[in-house]
Structure 1
């Protein structure tokens, strides 16, 4: 669901009435996965039930933070000579700015308005802005809270704020005290909250959050929760293939390092041998809840599809989300889709492309359809096959849990408007775009040769194995209830698109076309958008 648009004009009473129908405002500071350092992942989220006040905004990831705020303010400040006063347009509409320049006002927003920073995982494109910006806190009145899973905090503490890569600006181990760590309980803290809010903790004024672990790929490094330390056990990025180019090899330090979570169960290879050296790269999905309305959004960090994962975890997120979608309380999902469908599975490196994101959303849709069934009929068939489709099935059909061949790249979407930020009508109005920014160039097709490293093939559990319909619902399955699509009213915002810095259409255009085409074909009912840097979204 998206709120009604706010025009670039003086604030009038009806503007506040429009925003009252939205529970959240999300400001997109960075929407790419690199390589430009000024547009990597960073979002600001606030509840519309609160005014712009101290601690009323939470940042989710901080690859881009201060630079994104400055850019947005510069674009929307009415006067270059004096930026003081009430913002009358743009994502920061209604915020009273105390200073003359965009730089000074951005510093004020960072110190005073942003109450906490939620970090999904400690890769630099989600963290670098925080490190560089943190010295500004010294002019404030207290430390900045950095909240994340324990493995993420451990990585930040040991490998960034460690007096080597960056000064220890934390309040632990004799640091400067500009940052204070909040270690979140995975899956939510059951000691907090009541009813639907059970497990949620305070994120900032008006917002609560719960963090669920997801997988961002595999690596030969491990996090040991008992010691709170990380240990190398092999190459950090590429598998040790004999055909690997010497220039791509990485020196290995067998001391304490890394950012990865332990493997809870060893992987079984196609030969039956245990691959115990692989570990799962831990990332996060933040459920963010408005304390007044109970509405929610989900913001994902980097994430890989369950179908190729060493340790599938997405299904648990969809199980939590499905009843919220069914009830209408979950309004939007911010999730990565780094590449278009030209990417090969072996080159995803812990990311999504349209075919895999659609497959994940089919899992969510199936669980939503189940949640919408009367309690007495749950667990029965929720979808039906087309007879014509079923007749065409053969014994050689690929299992839902198996890797599929490089897919056909869909053509142009059936939608007339393929622009990344097409306004749409959702639960209570029209989505508002309050900013502008640059998009990226379309990526070339990736060509693989004998030097391309590859990971072990996922295990085929078989069509009759446990969870055989997860994470991919087969293409020929239709939703039984044709009167309402299972994800109708849900908005999906695509972030972390990989930029190629090449001439041609932005890569987000192709990704969006593929998502809309495949989403329509699957009958999901959700809307897809690619927000721009500096854009404000009312949800």
Structure 2
């Protein structure tokens, strides 16, 4: 009997370890760059590992990115069906076009779903994008007539909001992006998390504390090994002057922020931690410099991941 009890205890422990090590999320990058390439701008489909109910983190490029994913065998359905059936809603970090133009352009072919964002971003949708002078009002608020395809969901900083028609929820946090407020999305599935940051400048340059407060919020999740990855921008190489960062990060400033995060999580706690580097701006020479500079300054031994359009990532 004692042997049987010990066997069962070991079996349950191994099951628990196996469950913990399993991937919790899948990410399909539809667009990974910042800058001028309209075919490859920030947009990431995110779902629990065992689900096809995705939310789209920003929506700079949709159709072209979905086609790339279909070509790579990620989806067995045509691109139009992926847009209409698999994407259940949009989390829009801020109102700049390179983070939402795909949503606007694809709206005639899309299906009814929610747009989640802070109130100032939603106000820009209402007054600048979904208007009859610039496009058409596919939402259920703003100018008339309203085509009522999209419903706005205003996110309140720090409040947990269910992402409808998915198994996920989200908390949004404000970020400073030069002359406007951007946002970070902490997405939860069961007891695992992904953190996605829209465009952001470093606290020291932006003269604020938004990143400091964000790191304080997620540090316990890193200690408990519940946060699977941070998706964060690095737009420019270190040669970019601080005065012309315009609310963006360089390799130096990213690693400075990661140093601040490690002070909250403990020495050595970020070794091997997943950092997905987003929003790298062309030209290719800058991208190469950014990768070299990040490798040189990666004293914390972070696991730096450079997403590729249409190629899935699992955590």
Which stretch shows the higher mean deviation, 308-317 or 39-48?
308-317
Determine if the alignment matches structure 1 residue 171 to structure 2 residue 140: yes
| Structure 1 residue 200, shift from structure 2 partner | 4.3
How has the CA–CA distance of structure 1 residues 302 and 203 changed in structure 2, closer, same or farther, with 3 Å as cutoff?
Answer: farther
In structure 2, the residue matched to 1:65 is 62
Determine if the alignment matches structure 1 residue 331 to structure 2 residue 114: no
In structure 2, the residue matched to 1:132 is 105
Distance 1:128 1:110 in 2: 15
Aligned residue runs from structure 1 range 147-166, under 5 A: 147-166=116-135
In structure 1, the residue matched to 2:291 is 512
Distance 2:307 2:195 in 1: 15
SS, match of residue 104 in structure 2: helix
Contact 1:203 1:209 in 2 (8 A): no
One of 351, 358, 368 as aligned partner of 2:248: 351
Contact 1:185 1:211 in 2 (8 A): yes
SS, match of residue 201 in structure 2: coil
Deviations 1:498-534 (A, max 9, x none): 112xxxx5533321221122122xxx23211211111
Deviations 1:193-213 (A, max 9, x none): xxxxxx342354221111101
Determine if the alignment matches structure 1 residue 184 to structure 2 residue 181: no
SS, match of residue 535 in structure 1: coil
In structure 1, the residue matched to 2:14 is none
Aligned residue runs from structure 1 range 304-453, under 5 A: 304-369=201-266
How has the CA–CA distance of structure 1 residues 164 and 312 changed in structure 2, closer, same or farther, with 3 Å as cutoff?
Answer: farther
Contact 1:59 1:114 in 2 (8 A): yes
What TM-score, normalized to structure 1? 0.53
Determine if the alignment matches structure 1 residue 496 to structure 2 residue 272: no
How has the CA–CA distance of structure 1 residues 171 and 353 changed in structure 2, closer, same or farther, with 3 Å as cutoff?
Answer: same
How has the CA–CA distance of structure 1 residues 187 and 532 changed in structure 2, closer, same or farther, with 3 Å as cutoff?
Answer: same
SS, match of residue 319 in structure 1: helix
Aligned residue runs from structure 1 range 246-261, under 5 A: none
Distance 2:161 2:113 in 1: 20
In structure 1, the residue matched to 2:181 is 282
Contact 1:58 1:114 in 2 (8 A): yes
The structure carrying a bigger helix percent of its residues is: 2
In structure 2, the residue matched to 1:462 is none
Distance 1:107 1:151 in 2: 30
Q: Which runs of 5+ in 2 are unaligned?
A: 1-17
In structure 1, the residue matched to 2:3 is none
One of 66, 81, 92 as aligned partner of 1:119: 92
SS, match of residue 155 in structure 1: helix
| Structure 1 residue 350, shift from structure 2 partner | 0.8
In structure 1, the residue matched to 2:270 is 487
Distance 2:100 2:223 in 1: 34
One of 276, 299, 304 as aligned partner of 1:528: 304
SS, match of residue 35 in structure 2: coil
Q: Answer with 1 or 2: which has the greater Rg.
A: 1
| Structure 1 residue 282, shift from structure 2 partner | 0.3
Q: Which runs of 5+ in 1 are unaligned?
A: 1-16, 77-89, 98-104, 189-198, 219-280, 370-478, 480-484
What TM-score, normalized to structure 2? 0.89
Contact 1:488 1:526 in 2 (8 A): yes
Contact 2:28 2:69 in 1 (8 A): no
| Structure 1 residue 535, shift from structure 2 partner | 1.6
Contact 1:144 1:178 in 2 (8 A): yes
Deviations 1:392-415 (A, max 9, x none): xxxxxxxxxxxxxxxxxxxxxxxx
What is the number of equivalent residue pairs in this alignment?
A: 296
SS, match of residue 62 in structure 1: coil
Deviations 1:106-136 (A, max 9, x none): 1111111110010000100001000000111
Distance 2:215 2:161 in 1: 17
